[in-house]
Amino acid sequence: MSCKVMRVSKSAYYAWRKRPAIIISAQTLNLHRRAKRLFEVSRDSLGSRELGKKLRKEGFDVSRHRVINLMKRLGLVVKQRIAYKVTTKRKYSDAVADNLLNMNFNPPGPNQVWAGDVSYLKTGEGWLYLAIVMDLFGRRIVGWHTSKRMTTGLIEQAFLKAHRLRQPPKGLVFHSDRGSQYTSKRFRDLLKRLHCRASMGDVGACWDNAVVERFFGSLKHDWLFKVAQPTREHMTQDVAAYVKYYNLDRLHSSNGDQSPIEYEHSFRKVSGWS
C-alpha cells in the first residue's frame, strides 16, 4: 500500500531499506556546524574562498574544493552584489586638492593615509546618509557618522570621531572624491586646523577611492539589504554592528587574511607602534 501511495516499486523500496545509513563523524559534524554559523554571522555573504580561510583559521583542514562541496551540501548560497552608484557631486566654485595617492592604497603604517566617502541608505522612514573614515593601512574603519541630510557637518563629525580616536600625527593625508562636502571651505579649514593634507580623486573615477567603495558594497549587499530597515535608528544600529564585524572578523587578502584589527596588532608587535 505504501509503495502505491508513494508511487515507487517494491524493488526500489527494498533497495532503499538495504542501503547503509550515512554516518557522520563528530569532526565532520563540527565542521558543518561551524561553517553554517560563520555563514550566518556574515549574513550569508562568505563565498567559498573566504569561508575556507575562516575555517582553516579555526584549525579545520579543508581545501577550497571541499568547501565548495560543503556549501552545496548545506545549501549556503551567496547573493550577488549590485554595482556602485555615484552619490556626491562637486560645486565647481570650490577648490580641489591634488590626487596624492594615484591609486596607491597601501601606506607603510597606520595613521598615514585615511580615506572617506558618503553613501545613502534607504529606510522605512526615508534616506539616511553615512560618512565613513578608513585607515588605508589595515582597512580599519576609524570613524563614521549618520544623518538625515548629506551635509558638510556629516563628514566633519565622521572625521572628528576618527581624529579623537586615533590622534594621528601632523601630515596625515585624507583622501576623498570631489563631492561638494569635501571640497567646501569649511571642511578644508578643518583639515588645515588639524594639520592634515587633503587628497582628491579624479572626476567620475570611483576606482580612485576603490577601497572605500568596496566597503560600502560589502556593507549594503552583504549586510544591510538582508534584513528589514524600518527606521533610521535601526539602520544606524545595524551599521554599528557591521563596522564591529568588519573591523574584528572580516578577513582581508591585503592584510594577509587578517581582520583590520588583527593586522594592526601584528604590526604593533613587530614595530612597537602605539
Question: pLDDT tens digits, residue range 61-77?
Answer: 888 888 888 888 888 88
CA 103 to chain centre: 19
SS3 assignment, position 274:
coil
Q: Poorest-confidence range of 19-33, 49-63, 231-245?
A: 19-33
On the 0-12 / 13-18 / 19+ scale of CB atoms within 10 A, 32 is middle
Query: Which ranges of the chain does DSSP label H, i.e. alpha helix?
Result: 2-6, 10-18, 26-41, 48-57, 64-74, 152-166, 180-183, 185-193, 210-222, 232-248, 260-271
pLDDT beyond 60 at 204: no
| Number of domains the chain contains | 2
The pLDDT of residue 153: 97
CA 62 to chain centre: 24
The pLDDT of residue 13: 61
Query: Of 59, 78, 97, at which residue does a domain stop?
Result: 78
172 and 122 within one domain: yes
Residue 29 lies in a domain: yes
The pLDDT of residue 243: 98
Residue 85 lies in a domain: no
Kindly state the cell numbers that stand for 54: 575562516
Is the sign of the CA dihedral 25, 27, 28, 32 positive or negative?
positive
117 and 55 within one domain: no
d(CA 262, CA 233) in angstroms, rounded, equals 30
136 and 66 within one domain: no
Residue 88 lies in a domain: no
Residue 239 lies in a domain: yes
Q: Which amino acid would we find at residue 193?
A: R
The stretch 239-256 carries a mean pLDDT of 94
154 and 26 within one domain: no
119 and 237 within one domain: yes
d(CA 47, CA 40) in angstroms, rounded, equals 12
Residue 16 lies in a domain: no
Q: Report residue 48's pLDDT band, with 50, 70 and 90 as the boundaries.
A: confident
Q: Report residue 169's pLDDT band, with 50, 70 and 90 as the boundaries.
A: very high
Q: Report residue 126's pLDDT band, with 50, 70 and 90 as the boundaries.
A: very high
227 and 123 within one domain: yes
Residue 17 lies in a domain: no
Greater pLDDT, 174 or 45:
174
Closest CA to 261 of 53, 116, 50, 110: 110
d(CA 198, CA 57) in angstroms, rounded, equals 38
The pLDDT of residue 269: 87
d(CA 252, CA 250) in angstroms, rounded, equals 7
The pLDDT of residue 86: 45
120 and 66 within one domain: no
d(CA 5, CA 65) in angstroms, rounded, equals 40
Is residue 84 a contact partner of residue 177, using CB atoms and an 8 Å limit? no
The domain in which residue 59 lies consists of 22-78
The pLDDT of residue 233: 97
Residue 41 lies in a domain: yes
Greater pLDDT, 177 or 1:
177
* CATH, residue 204: 3.30.420.10
130 and 64 within one domain: no
Of these ranges, 49-58, 94-103, 157-166, 204-213, the one predicted with the greatest mean pLDDT is: 157-166
261 and 126 within one domain: yes
The stretch 11-40 carries a mean pLDDT of 74
The pLDDT of residue 83: 45
169 and 59 within one domain: no
48 and 181 within one domain: no
The pLDDT of residue 9: 72
54 and 189 within one domain: no
The percentage of the chain sitting over the pLDDT mark of 70, rounded to a whole number, equals 83
The pLDDT of residue 15: 66
Q: Report residue 84's pLDDT band, with 50, 70 and 90 as the boundaries.
A: very low
Query: Of 62, 78, 94, at which residue does a domain stop?
Result: 78
Greater pLDDT, 4 or 191:
191
Residue 92 lies in a domain: no
The pLDDT of residue 167: 96
